[in-house]
Amino acid sequence: MWKCSVCNFIFEGEDAPDKCPKCGAPKEKYSRLEEAAEQKIAGARENNHLLMTSIDLLDELEAIGERGTEINLDPWCLGYFTKLKEQAKLLKQTSLAEIEVHVKKDKWG
Ligand SMILES: [Fe+2]
């Protein structure tokens, strides 16, 4: 992996690109990442992908909870769907906040 010192673009390949695909900086602005940095980026990518996938699923759970409360079939189900909606929303918000932390702490990639 190679990193552009101008825009932080990560390029994967045997050699750095002649020109940065993102900002157009010349090859000299690229430096090769150490193995540990590459592993950190790979872990961050997978972790953040999992967070984003879980956020999509939590969106669906929140919508299920919303629909269940609208139907309001009986008290137990109303309680269940109300809790589902609230907890899905809370988990979604905490995941979004954690992604923001990762972006600011260079745990992205
Ligand atoms: Fe760049």
Quote the ligand 1 centre to 37 CA distance (angstroms). 18
Confidence of residue 109 (pLDDT cuts 50, 70, 90): low
Cβ-based neighbour number of residue 39 at 10 Å: 11
pLDDT score, position 102: 87
Quote the ligand 1 centre to 22 CA distance (angstroms). 5
Quote the ligand 1 centre to 109 CA distance (angstroms). 13
Quote the ligand 1 centre to 33 CA distance (angstroms). 15
Quote the ligand 1 centre to 57 CA distance (angstroms). 34
**Tokens 């992908």 belong to residue:** 49
Quick: pLDDT tens for 44-102. 999 999 999 999 999 999 999 999 999 999 999 999 999 999 999 999 999 999 999 98
Q: Can you give the three-state secondary structure of 52-94, one letter per residue? A: HHHHHHHHHHHHHHHHHHHHCCCHHHHHHHHHHHHHHHHHHHH
